[in-house]
Amino acid sequence: MTIITAIILIILPVLLVLPFVNVQWKGIITMAAVSIVAILSSIIAAQALAGENYEYLFKGSLVTGIIPIRIDALSGWFILIINFTVITGAVYGLQYMKAYSAQKTSLGLHCICFVLLQSSLLSICCIQNSMAFLIAWEIMALSSFILVIFEHHKKETLRAGINFLIQSHICIMFLTLGFLWVAMRMNAYDFKAIQLFSANNSLLTGVALFICFFIGFAIKAGFVPFHTWLPYAHPAAPSHVSGIMSGVIIKIGIYGILRMLLLIRCDYGLIGYLILLISIISGVYGVMLAILQHNLKRLLAYHSIENIGIIGIGIGLGCIGIGKANYILTVLGFAGALLHTLNHSLFKSLLFYGAGNVYQSTHTMDIEKLGGLGKRMPHTSLLFLIAALAICGLPPFNGFVSEFLIYNSLFTGLNGSDKTLLSFIVLGLFGLSLIGGLAMLCFTKAFGSVFLGQPRYNFHYELEEAGLGKLIPMYAIVMLIMAIGLFPKTFISVLSRPLALFTGRIVFSTQASTLPAMEAIPAIGLYALIFLLLTGLIYFARKRITLGKHMDIDATWNCGYIAPTAKMQYTASSFTRAYRKLAEPLFSISKKKKEIKGIFPTTGGQVTHPYDKAEAWLIDYPINFLKKFFNGFTFLQNGNLQFYILYGVVFISLVLVIPFVFEYLTSLINFLNTL
């Protein structure tokens, strides 16, 4: 019995049993099933990363033909990322969903869809038959939709879920179009047909086919301007689903783009410039909008767009490297993109889990109402801070390593004499540095407003730290974040075989010395370790010196004036006011003001609401136009029975008359041709 068969035999009974077991067992069975499937699939993935590719052929049907399951190094890398994030999400979700234990029916469906989601994500990484691939993609879309709308009694949640489902099917439409184009020409659904099709056609045809697939996968990944579903779905979903959505569901779009780059022969230079430009816009646009958000999970959602942009910058540079036959540019670009895919899945899922802890303790995601949670929730505060530092690309955390590779890839591109390349490289350096600076501003605001200072709102219940069941998976993520930051060479060396698919040779064996950036990688880990040891030494030395000494605890000086109310603190909005004034022309920001009256005012304030202009242009305006257009035909539905009978008579008359008219015109044309 193969491992694939074993996985199927585990999943099917679990899906059949889950609706009938007690509530307390639903989560345990789901977590156990997810963990076993993750372990079995990770064995194959690890073998693929070691060079042992896996292939299994299902017989399929007359429609699909043979369905090949192929797992190479690229599939293996993404399978490992998916499995780790799904396991941490399952463990965290087991505790998170206890607050909803009364909703027995919804929990059963939620657990079934969670198992289906993991299965479909793994299937997408393995299946290389376009029909079966689309079925797996559809299962992923539907299961994700049901997971997102768990709290479907909320109007905004249902609206976000429907928005997600519609855009998921627009994504499927473009993928179907690309697969049909190949199938019509090659009469085959195997992914090898895509390779043969592009090999037998011009580079321009390859570019057109890749763009078709790229649009489909970019919608799922959240590249601008295909991102508009993402800021709604993330806040609406339960926090463990948000962590998985940002950690791996949007990454499946990145997998699809990379897979098509391996299959389609095209002008890689042109494709690279296109991806690089879209990615720079995505990264900068995402972080600029993130700073303006008041909802913590919505803020994190826009940072997913930002980090997809960073991954895309690496992919774009790698493609340009292939087009220019620049080996170093190719390796560093794709290495940075692949490693940042893992890194983002770690710190972003950790941030969403931290936001979930805050939500279940305070029952709000409004940053303006939070504050001072660091003392009430010390573990969550520390974990959120580590994830915030990692996402900002600061050492000694994992985000620094992948961004270091991408920066080195950009600096490598500066050595060329191609003016077009130099222009894009300078744009990329400016964009990446701007992204990093704005990300630090955003998370300074987020962490400071939520965890520091004094409480801005008087909650009528005790705020408590999250339980051990939620904290254990979060600390497990931190351990991996620190491991990548301290031992980057080990993790980068795992990328040898995935990178070999793009470069044609194993990268980090004999060729490691020829890559300048690789020489600095061990030093990064060493300096990070020294920094942590010095920090720990100073901390314990201070504790030792102050041990047993009397300490006076008093109010903060506050510039000579002790604020009598927490409202005199900086709010999240006031902290970023200067930035908002600068960015206001680029975004649609509505304001609602309450005038301050009197010497001792009791009311007054200002509320700002940022709106995504890309959403207004690409979704709101077209929808409003269609509404206006179709509203012009409402007179047809007037409720008058005589008119409806008339419509029927007209329709039947047209059905009878049109064939005769068509036949008459055909005869007339034939007669004229004989003259």
pLDDT for position 413: 80
Average pLDDT for residues 143-167, to the nearest whole number? 93
Element (DSSP H or E) covering residue 469: helix 468-486
Average pLDDT for residues 157-175, to the nearest whole number? 94
pLDDT for position 513: 46
pLDDT for position 510: 44
Two tokens, residue 504: 């044609």
pLDDT for position 562: 57
Q: How does pLDDT run across 487-503, given as a tens digit for each residue?
A: 998 999 899 999 999 98
pLDDT for position 509: 53
pLDDT-above-70 percentage for the chain: 94
The CA distance from 286 to 231, in Å, is: 10
The CA distance from 358 to 367, in Å, is: 10
pLDDT at 574 over 60: yes
How many helices (H) and strands (E) the chain has is answered by 27, 4
Two tokens, residue 216: 């489909």
Work out the end-to-end distance of the chain between its first and last CA atoms, rounded to an integer number of angstroms. Answer: 75
The CA distance from 137 to 147, in Å, is: 15
pLDDT-above-90 percentage for the chain: 59
Average pLDDT for residues 632-641, to the nearest whole number? 77
Element (DSSP H or E) covering residue 71: strand 65-71
pLDDT at 94 over 60: yes
Q: What is the CB neighbour count within 10 angstroms for residue 565?
A: 8
pLDDT at 363 over 70: yes
Average pLDDT for residues 225-247, to the nearest whole number? 93
Phi-psi region of 154 (alpha: psi -120 to 50; beta: other; left: phi over 0): beta
Q: How does pLDDT run across 20-68, given as a tens digit for each residue?
A: 888 888 989 999 999 999 999 999 999 999 989 999 888 888 888 899 9
pLDDT at 512 over 50: no
Average pLDDT for residues 587-609, to the nearest whole number? 74
pLDDT band at 651 (very low <50, low <70, confident <90, very high): confident
pTM: 0.92
pLDDT at 301 over 70: yes
Lowest mean pLDDT among 215-229, 373-387, 501-515: 501-515
pLDDT at 102 over 70: no
pLDDT band at 517 (very low <50, low <70, confident <90, very high): low
CA-based radius of gyration for the chain: 28
The CA distance from 251 to 495, in Å, is: 17
The CA distance from 357 to 466, in Å, is: 6
Q: How far from 303 is each of 290, 306, 556, CA to CA, in Å?
A: 6, 5, 34
Two tokens, residue 487: 């031992």
Lowest mean pLDDT among 47-51, 147-151, 381-385, 646-650: 646-650
Average pLDDT for residues 661-665, to the nearest whole number? 83
CA 53-54-56 angle, 5° bins: 150
Q: What is the CB neighbour count within 10 angstroms for residue 612?
A: 21
**8 Å CB contact between 285 and 307:** no
Q: How does pLDDT run across 458-472, given as a tens digit for each residue?
A: 877 788 898 999 999
pLDDT for position 306: 95
- Those residues whose C-beta lies under 8 Å from the C-beta of residue 549, and which sit 6 or more positions away, are none
Two tokens, residue 495: 């990328």
Q: What is the CB neighbour count within 10 angstroms for residue 410?
A: 27
pLDDT at 556 over 70: no
The CA distance from 309 to 305, in Å, is: 6
Q: What is the DSSP string of 349-386?
A: HHHHHHHHHHHHHHS--BGGG---HHHH-HHHHHHHHH
- Amino acid present at 351: L
pLDDT for position 561: 53
Average pLDDT for residues 535-548, to the nearest whole number? 86
The residue ranking higher by pLDDT, 294 or 103, is 294
The residue ranking higher by pLDDT, 185 or 667, is 185
- Those residues whose C-beta lies under 8 Å from the C-beta of residue 411, and which sit 6 or more positions away, are 429
Two tokens, residue 92: 């965290």
Chain centre to alpha carbon of residue 218: 10
Per the DSSP assignment, residues forming a β-bridge with 71 are: 54
pLDDT at 571 over 60: yes
pLDDT band at 11 (very low <50, low <70, confident <90, very high): very high
Lowest mean pLDDT among 367-381, 514-528, 574-588: 514-528
Average pLDDT of the residues of the chain: 89
pLDDT at 640 over 90: no
pLDDT for position 555: 62
